[in-house]
Structure 1
Amino acid sequence: MKGFCSIAGLILLFLCLAVTARAGQALPAWLDPVEFHGYAEARAGWRPEKGPEETGWSPLEARFQGDLSAMYDGFELKLKGDIWADGVTETVEDDLREAWVFTRVGEHTDLTVGRQILTWGTGDLVFLNDLFPKDWQAFFIGRDGDYLKAPSDAVKVSIFTPLAGVDLVYTPRFDPDRYTDGTYISPGNTNPSDTPDGWFKDDEIALRLNRRVGTWEVAAYGYKGFWKQPSGTTPQGVARFPALEVYGASARGQFGPGIANLEVAWYRSMEDLSGTDPLVNNSERRYLLGYARDMGRELTISFQYYVEEILDHGAYGHAPGATRDRFRHVLTCNMEQQLFNQTLSLGFSGYWSPTDEDAYLRPLAVYKVSDRVQVTTGANVFLGCSNTTFFGQLEDNTNIYTSIRFAY
C-alpha cells in the first residue's frame, strides 16, 4: 500500500507539471533542472487456446508511466514508476522501476546508488553473464520489450583506467527473476518457494572488466550470488534458489561487413559441485556465437548460436525425473525493418532448438501515428513436441496483442 501511494503521488505530481507546462505557465525556480515525461497506454492480448479455468486475455491493462530526471550540483537523479489497472488479476498494480542517484567521484570513478536497470554481455535477448533480474512473464505475455529487464536495488561503481574499465555491482539483498508463477502463464512455478531475502547476508556481487583491443571490445565477468530462478528443492518439495558462481568472457567487434560476438560462461552450482544431488541443479557451461549485419535500406539481421551444457550429466541422468539432455542447442534470428521514413518498424525474433524440438516466435509491428502516439501489434508463438522442454511447455500460452500509447 505504501508503494502504491508513492507511485500515485509521483504520477499526480507529473500530471500537475504537465498541465502547467502545456498551459505555458512558468515552472517554480526549484524545478528548473527537472525534466519529466511519460506515457499512458492501453494494451490487450488474446490467447487462442486456454484452460477451462483461465481467462482468454493476456494481457489486459491500462498503464501510466511517469519518468522524472534532474541534475543538481554534480548529482543526477532519476525516478520512474508505473501504475496500471490489470484486467487479468482484477487489481491495481504499481512498480517503481528506477529510483537512483548518480555522481562522479574524482576524475575516473562513477557511482550510482538505488534502484536501477542493469545489463551487460553481448547476446541479443540471450543472457549468459548478465545475471541481473529479468521479467520473463512480462516478456511472454506481450508487454513492451523494455519490461524484460527488471530493476535491481544496487550500488554500481564504474572505474576508468588506461588498462581496463571496471564495473562493480553490489546488491545487498538478492533480486531474483520475475519468473512465470501461474498468474498469466501456465504452467508456472506455483509451488511455495524459499527466496533468500536477508539484507547484507543474501547479497550478490557482479564484476566486469572490459577494454578495447583494436576494433574489438573484450570483457571478463564474475558473479557470486544465487540461481536467478528456482533451481533446487528441499526434501519437503519447497522450491529454492541454491548458491551460484559464474565466470565468463566475451568479445565483440568488426568482422567482415558485420559485427560478430562471442561469449562463454561457466555456472558453478556451489551446493552441488559434483552433480550428484538430485535436488539441486548441476553446474553448466554456456556458449554463444553471433553475427549481425546492416543489409541496407534500413534492414538489420542478426543470427546467434547458443549452447547450454550440463556438467556431470552422467550423475544427473540417474536422478528420478531427469529430462534434460547434456546439450541444448538454440538458433536465433532477429530482424528489424524501418519503413516510411521510420514511422513503421517491423521486427521479428525467432528461437529454434533442434535438440528440444521446440520454438518461440515473436513478430512485432510498431507504427508511429505522430510524435506522441504509437500503435503496436505483435504475437508470442510457442511451439513444441513435448511439455518438458522450455518452449514446448508454454505452447498453450500463444497470444496475439495490440496496444496504443500516448506519450507526453
Structure 2
Amino acid sequence: MKQILCFLMFLFSALTVWSQADSSSITFKYNGFVDSYHALRSQSPNDWMSSRTRLRSELTVDKGNTSMFVSFNAIYNSILEDKTGLFLREAFFRYNTEKWDLKVGRQIITWGVADGIRVTDLVSPMDYTEFLAQDYDDIRIPENGFRLKYLHPKFNVEGVFIPVAEFFQLPLSAENPWSVMSSITMPYSLNMNDIPAKKLSNAEFGGRISFFLSGIDVSLSALHTWNKMPVINKSLSVNSDSLYMKAHYERLDMIGADMSVPLGKFVIRAEVAAYLGELQELDMPVNLDATIRKNTYNGLLGLDFYPGNDWTVMVQYYHKYISDYDEIISVKKNSGLVTFNISKKLLQTTMTLSSFTYYDITYNSFYNRTSVDYALTDQIHLTGGYDWFHGEKGSFAMYKNNSEYFVKFKYSF
C-alpha cells in the first residue's frame, strides 16, 4: 500500500507541474463508483459468502495525442482480510494518431468475440477469488506490458509484449468459502513455487489482425504464452493419509480466429483456437513432477437475438477436443459447455431482469445467476439475485453447497 500511496503522490506532483506548463491544452476527467456487495449462503449454515465495499477511482488525463489513465480500488473485505487495502488496477499512458495507437503500462487486453468464455482471449488472466460469482470485468487481471496498433479503415494490426506474465489467482485459504481446497478432508501440502522466472526468455508476445469487411468482422490471432491456470498434480503419502500437490506452468502457443456477422435482429459469432502444447491435468496418483502436453482444439459458436421491446437473448456452444488423448488425463477427450443469457428491460428501461447460465454438458452440472437491477437514479443502482450451483462432477459441482442470495448497491460518479 505504501508503494501505491507514493505512486499517487508522485502522480499528483507530476500532473500539477504538467498542467501549469500548458493548462489550456490539458483536460482531466475523474470518475468511478462506490459499490457494496453482500452474499449469504442459501443453505445451512447460512453464513456470509461475501461482504465487501469498494471505491473505484479512475483518472484520465488528455493532452494532444497523448493520454494517461490510472484506476485503483480501495476495498474493505469483511470475509477475506488479505483483500482489504488499496490496490492499483490499471496505469498506462497512450499515444494515438490517425494510424497508430500505442499503450504502455498495466492494462487489460481482451481478444475475441466470446461472452464469458476464453477461446483466443488468453492475454489477461483471471481472478477466481470468488469464482464466477462476481462481475466478469472484475475477474480480469491487468498485465504490465506494451500494446501497439496500426489503424486502417479496413483493418487493424495489433502487437502485444508482456515482459513478466501474470497468472490466475486461485482461492486457496481455508477462510475463503470459494477455496479450491474445500473438498479435501485429509492433511495436505501444496507447492505453488513453480511460477516461471522473471526473465526475458519467459516473456509473452503475440499479435492480432482484424479485418472490417462489408457485413462481417474477422480477426486472426497468435500468442506465445503460458497455461495461466496452474495444472496441479496430486499424490498420496506412503500411508495414504496425506495429500501432496504441486502446481505446474508450461509454455503454450495459441493460433486462433474469430468472426462476427450481423444479420438483421441476429448477430452470429464464432471463435476457434488451437492450443499447441497445452499442459494437461492428470489423474491421481501421479508423480508430482510428471507433465503431459497435448495439442487441443477449441471452438465456439454464438447467436445473439434482439427481437425488440428491450429483449436480449444470447446462446453459445463451446467445444474442446484433446488430440492424441492419453487415459491418464483427468478430463475427457471431448468436452462441451453451453451458455444461455436472457434479459428484459422494464419500467422505461430503469429495471433489468436477467438470467445467465453456464451448463457443463460433459458432467451435467451448471451455474446460474438470476438478478434484478433497478436504477433508482442515473447514478444509483440496486441489484439483487441468486447464484445457483448444481452438479455432482466438474468445476461447478465443487461449489454445489455455495448457492447464495446476493445484493449490491452501486453509486457511479
Q: TM-score, normalised by structure 1?
A: 0.84
2:246 is the counterpart of 1:253: no
2:296 is the counterpart of 1:284: yes
Preserved CA contact (<8 Å) 2:25 2:64: no
Preserved CA contact (<8 Å) 2:93 2:104: yes
Preserved CA contact (<8 Å) 1:228 1:241: yes
2:162 is the counterpart of 1:171: yes
Q: 1:126 matched to which residue of 2?
A: 117
Alignment of 1:254-333 (within 5 A): 254-255=262-263, 257-269=265-277, 279-313=291-325, 315=326, 317=327, 319=328, 322-333=329-340
Structure 1 residues 280 and 188: CA distance shift in structure 2, 3 A: farther
SS at match of 2:169: coil
Q: 2:73 matched to which residue of 1?
A: 82
2:351 is the counterpart of 1:344: yes
Match of 1:99 among 68, 91, 112: 91
Preserved CA contact (<8 Å) 1:67 1:80: yes
Deviations 1:91-147 (A, max 9, x none): 523321111111125x42110001112111011111100002343525636333320
Letter in structure 1 aligned against 2:212: R
Match of 2:31 among 18, 31, 37: 37
Residue 8 of structure 1 deviates from its aligned partner by 7.8
Preserved CA contact (<8 Å) 2:208 2:222: yes
Q: Which moved more, 1:334-343 or 1:184-193?
A: 184-193
SS at match of 1:118: coil
1: CA distance, partners of 2:310 / 2:125: 29
2: CA distance, partners of 1:373 / 1:163: 40
Preserved CA contact (<8 Å) 1:242 1:280: no
Preserved CA contact (<8 Å) 2:294 2:323: yes
2: CA distance, partners of 1:402 / 1:8: 32
Letter in structure 1 aligned against 2:33: Y
Letter in structure 2 aligned against 1:84: I
Q: 1:20 matched to which residue of 2?
A: none
RMSD of aligned alpha carbons: 3.0
Structure 1 residues 335 and 8: CA distance shift in structure 2, 3 A: farther
Residue 385 of structure 1 deviates from its aligned partner by 1.8
SS at match of 1:122: coil
1: CA distance, partners of 2:9 / 2:292: 44
Structure 1 residues 340 and 310: CA distance shift in structure 2, 3 A: same
- Which sections of structure 1, spanning at least 5 residues, go unmatched? 14-27
2: CA distance, partners of 1:137 / 1:261: 26
Preserved CA contact (<8 Å) 1:299 1:338: yes
Residue 224 of structure 1 deviates from its aligned partner by 0.5
Preserved CA contact (<8 Å) 1:187 1:394: no
Match of 1:390 among 385, 395, 408: 395
Letter in structure 2 aligned against 1:103: Y
Preserved CA contact (<8 Å) 2:51 2:77: yes
Q: 2:42 matched to which residue of 1?
A: 48
Structure 1 residues 234 and 398: CA distance shift in structure 2, 3 A: closer
2:142 is the counterpart of 1:151: yes
Q: Which moved more, 1:135-144 or 1:394-403?
A: 135-144
Preserved CA contact (<8 Å) 2:26 2:62: no
Residue 287 of structure 1 deviates from its aligned partner by 0.8
1: CA distance, partners of 2:44 / 2:88: 31
Aligned-pair identity (%):
21
